[in-house]
């Protein structure tokens, strides 16, 4: 047996690496020592748990000063047995390891999940900010440096350096590094010692600030999300292959068109701007760095493709602008969606996107690899790629205007609450109050934008630019809006005042503390509203499981749940799902809209 030593937090720690079954006696003794919680971690060949070629390589257990690093190929049974003991484990980003162990050792998420603490969840509850947002972030290294030992090793970064010295890269290293490499084994073991120590440091902090209940909820939610990820979604592979080809043909056609105007690379904003200027177009808008802006909002009017606004000039539609927009769109759809889908699908044609249950600083969930929360919704062709399992139908239920309802509920504004109770269209109601009974569609659009401005903290300038409306008209609308819904302005003011004179944070009804940036206190309203809407969706996922609807859930998308159900009972299923999503929140009805889509996700967006 190989035993390494390493100093962590001033204490000498031992890392044991058994080489024969005989060495496992020591492991059994270690397990019998009576630690209430053991650190656990895995080392694998990559991130794609569900795709061919993925392997579990190491599984590590550790307490505050001793770690055991077990090779999966030699000791898979011992690892599984250890995980099946009636005790708690602590992992960092447990969703990943839970799925690895489920898929490759047969210890299921259902079995192990309830016995898991996740230091990433605890970290997010203590401070949800990423490193880039001024927080500690949620990686093991910075967390260890702050809470365990400033000198704690950078195991990930350290290994990357080892990869390089061996002629491997970040992409190839995890699979390619020799399984007996000492640094690899050392760092693998250290991670469990760090996670154990981190847990012993921040676990009590979470309890002290009264977040135990929320912590429990998030751990439970994460388990349900891991099950969702394991289930995945079925991809219509032949459809995606055909789609990819046609998107590439389209992209090529418009690239050629752009080339005729001197733009060799449609993705080069510099080239596009230069060519447009040479054609006599005026580019007034600037990017933050001062370059001419040539995004879609600029190009579409030039191409006369914007149906929203009337053209103010008499210039002919610009064919280059159109070619650039269309080429970029087709290429993006082909690459970011079609290619990614095929790349990430497992052998059975299923996709298992990462579901980050507690991702944004508002706790919003995120979905990546691939980004299924961001598929085009104006066109059904991309969503059509996802189909129900045989005999099933895709359904969905979404919250109706949930952020406005949450804002009404939290602010207690009586006028808005009454409008919601009366089942009125909020934006039309607002438009009528602001512009009078003869309000137009444009008025409703401004009213809607002002409402979003309240939620997002946006000002008159932004709303004017977004709606194309006159800035003075927008200013008047905002004033009228504030007069109509005085409670909302008061509520926002209150949140900002508190942050100005007290802690720079908002606290949501669920007890989540959301730090504010000192120069962006106006974001307070958005944070608490967005976060609360997220908590309502999270609760709906838990409730759906409790109601026996969990087996059908496929994806959360901010304010909706995508699901599938046996074709002959899809209607009942989604009606039940919609019922479960409904609630009364601070006296305001949170309603949902259940809908049967059909054989594919795209059928909810016009596919036939």
Q: Which of residues 296-315 bind DNA (CB under 7 A)?
A: 296-297, 299
Question: What's the distance, Cα to Cα, between the start and end of the chain in Å?
Answer: 63
Question: What is the number of other CB atoms lying within 10 angstroms of the CB of residue 461?
Answer: 11
Choice between 71 and 405, CB closer to DNA:
405
> What's the CA dihedral at 124, 126, 130, 133 to 10 degrees?
150
Among 313, 378, 423, 584, binds DNA (CB under 7 A): 378
166 scored as a contact of DNA (CB under 7 A) = no
Stretch that binds DNA, among 65-73, 254-262, 307-315, 372-380 (CB under 7 A): 372-380
447 scored as a contact of DNA (CB under 7 A) = no
CB 555 within 8 A of CB 378: no
Read out DSSP for 385-453? GEEPPTTEEEEEEEESSHHHHHHHHHHT-HHHHHHHHTT--HHHHHHHHHH-TT--HHHHHHHHHHHHH
CA angle 572-578-584, nearest 5°? 140
Number of residues in contact with DNA, rule: CB under 7 A? Answer: 72
Read out DSSP for 452-488? HHHHHT--HHHHHHHHT--HHHHHHHHHHHHHH-HHH
Question: What is the number of other CB atoms lying within 10 angstroms of the CB of residue 380?
Answer: 19
Sequence-distant (6+) residues with CB within 8 A of 520 are: none
Choice between 371 and 486, CB closer to DNA:
371
Stretch that binds DNA, among 4-12, 312-320, 451-459, 543-551 (CB under 7 A): 451-459
Choice between 354 and 573, CB closer to DNA:
354
CB of 288: closest distance to DNA in angstroms? Answer: 4
Contact code string over 474-493 relative to DNA, x by CB under 7 A: --------------------
CB of 360: closest distance to DNA in angstroms? Answer: 3
Choice between 84 and 335, CB closer to DNA:
335
Instruction: Report the C-alpha gap between 212 and 31 in whole angstroms.
Output: 27
Instruction: Report the C-alpha gap between 494 and 524 in whole angstroms.
Output: 10
Within residues 519-558, the interface with DNA by CB under 7 A covers 520-523, 526-527, 530, 557-558
Closest by Cα among 115, 109, 114 to 89:
115
Among 362, 430, 484, 539, binds DNA (CB under 7 A): 362
> How large is the greatest C-alpha to C-alpha distance in the chain, in angstroms?
86
Among 170, 207, 311, 503, binds DNA (CB under 7 A): 170
Instruction: Report the C-alpha gap between 180 and 249 in whole angstroms.
Output: 49
CB of 213: closest distance to DNA in angstroms? Answer: 23
Angle at which helices 426-435 and 414-421 cross, to 10°: 130
Contact code string over 106-145 relative to DNA, x by CB under 7 A: ------------------------x--x------------
Stretch that binds DNA, among 147-155, 274-282, 327-335, 545-553 (CB under 7 A): 327-335
Within residues 213-252, the interface with DNA by CB under 7 A covers none
CB of 589: closest distance to DNA in angstroms? Answer: 18
Choice between 71 and 444, CB closer to DNA:
444
Contact code string over 553-592 relative to DNA, x by CB under 7 A: ----xxxx--------------------------------
For 280-284, the CB contacts below 8 A with 24+ separation are 281/315, 281/318, 281/321
Instruction: Report the C-alpha gap between 76 and 88 in whole angstroms.
Output: 19
Joined together, the tokens standing for residue 399 give 């919250």
Contact code string over 49-88 relative to DNA, x by CB under 7 A: ----------------------------------------
CB of 7: closest distance to DNA in angstroms? Answer: 26
Sequence-distant (6+) residues with CB within 8 A of 477 are: 434, 435, 446, 447, 450
Choice between 37 and 344, CB closer to DNA:
344
Among 6, 332, 489, 586, binds DNA (CB under 7 A): 332
Within residues 271-300, the interface with DNA by CB under 7 A covers 271, 287-291, 293-297, 299
Among 99, 101, 221, 325, binds DNA (CB under 7 A): 325
Instruction: Report the C-alpha gap between 595 and 576 in whole angstroms.
Output: 11
Within residues 253-272, the interface with DNA by CB under 7 A covers 265, 267-271
Instruction: Report the C-alpha gap between 47 and 210 in whole angstroms.
Output: 34
Stretch that binds DNA, among 168-176, 180-188, 198-206, 218-226 (CB under 7 A): 168-176
Choice between 77 and 500, CB closer to DNA:
500
456 scored as a contact of DNA (CB under 7 A) = yes
Stretch that binds DNA, among 9-17, 84-92, 328-336, 587-595 (CB under 7 A): 328-336
Contact code string over 398-437 relative to DNA, x by CB under 7 A: ----------------------------------------
CA–chain centroid gap for 63, Å, is 31
Among 7, 377, 479, 497, binds DNA (CB under 7 A): 377
Choice between 144 and 271, CB closer to DNA:
271
Instruction: Report the C-alpha gap between 13 and 149 in whole angstroms.
Output: 13
């Amino acid at each position: 047996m190989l035993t390494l030593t390493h100093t962590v937090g001033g204490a000498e720690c031992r890392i044991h690496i058994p080489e024969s079954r005989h060495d496992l006696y020591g492991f059994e003794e270690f397990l019998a020592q009576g630690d209430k919680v053991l650190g656990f971690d895995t080392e694998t060949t990559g991130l794609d748990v569900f795709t061919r070629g993925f392997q579990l390589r190491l599984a590590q257990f550790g307490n505050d000063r001793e770690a055991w690093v077990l090779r999966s190929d030699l000791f898979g049974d011992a690892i599984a047995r250890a995980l099946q003991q009636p005790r708690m484990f602590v992992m960092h980003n447990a969703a990943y390891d839970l799925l690895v162990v489920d898929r490759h050792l047969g210890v299921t998420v259902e079995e192990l999940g309830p016995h898991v603490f996740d230091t990433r969840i605890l970290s997010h509850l203590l401070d949800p900010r990423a490193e880039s947002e001024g927080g500690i972030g949620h990686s093991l290294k910075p967390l260890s440096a702050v809470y365990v030992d400033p000198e704690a090793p950078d195991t990930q970064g350290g290994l990357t350096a080892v990869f390089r010295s061996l002629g491997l890269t970040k992409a190839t290293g995890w699979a390619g590094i020799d399984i007996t490499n000492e640094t690899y084994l050392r760092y693998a073991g250290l991670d469990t010692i760090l996670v154990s120590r981190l847990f012993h440091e921040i676990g009590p902090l979470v309890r002290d600030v009264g977040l135990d209940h929320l912590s429990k909820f998030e751990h439970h939610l994460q388990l349900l999300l891991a099950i969702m990820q394991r289930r995945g979604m079925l991809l219509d592979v032949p459809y995606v292959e055909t789609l990819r080809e046609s998107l590439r043909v389209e992209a090529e056609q418009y690239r050629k068109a752009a080339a005729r105007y001197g733009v060799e690379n449609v993705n080069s904003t510099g080239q596009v701007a230069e060519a447009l200027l040479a054609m006599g177009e005026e580019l007034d808008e600037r990017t933050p760095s001062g370059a001419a802006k040539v995004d879609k909002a600029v190009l579409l009017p030039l191409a006369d493709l914007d149906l929203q606004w009337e053209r103010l000039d008499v210039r002919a539609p610009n064919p280059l602008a159109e070619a650039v927009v269309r080429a970029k769109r087709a290429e993006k759809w082909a690459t970011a969606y079609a290619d990614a889908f095929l790349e990430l699908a497992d052998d059975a044609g299923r996709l298992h996107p990462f579901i980050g249950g507690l991702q944004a600083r508002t706790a919003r969930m995120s979905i990546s690899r691939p980004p299924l929360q961001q598929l085009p919704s104006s066109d059904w062709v991309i969503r059509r790629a996802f189909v129900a399992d045989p005999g099933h139908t895709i359904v969905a239920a979404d919250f109706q205007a949930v952020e406005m309802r949450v804002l009404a509920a939290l602010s207690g504004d009586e006028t808005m609450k009454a409008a919601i109770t009366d089942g009125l269209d909020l934006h039309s109601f607002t438009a009528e109050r602001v512009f009078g009974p003869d309000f137009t569609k444009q008025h409703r659009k401004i009213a809607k934008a002002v409402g979003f401005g309240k939620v997002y903290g946006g000002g008159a300038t932004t709303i004017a630019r977004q709606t194309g409306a006159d800035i003075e008209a927008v200013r008047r609308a905002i004033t009228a809006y504030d007069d109509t819904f005085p409670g909302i302005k008061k509520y926002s003011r209150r949140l900002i005042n508190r942050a100005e004179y007290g802690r720079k944070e908002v606290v949501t009804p669920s007890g989540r503390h959301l730090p504010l940036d000192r120069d962006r206190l106006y974001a307070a309203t958005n944070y608490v509203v967005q976060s609360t809407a997220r908590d309502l969706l999270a609760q709906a996922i838990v409730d759906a499981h409790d109601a026996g609807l969990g087996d059908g859930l496929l994806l959360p998308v901010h304010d909706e749940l995508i699901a599938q159900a046996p074709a002959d009972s899809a209607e009942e299923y989604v009606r039940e799902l919609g019922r479960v999503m409904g609630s009364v929140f601070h006296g305001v009805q949170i309603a949902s809209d259940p809908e049967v889509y059909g054989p594919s996700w795209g059928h909810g967006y016009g596919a036939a």
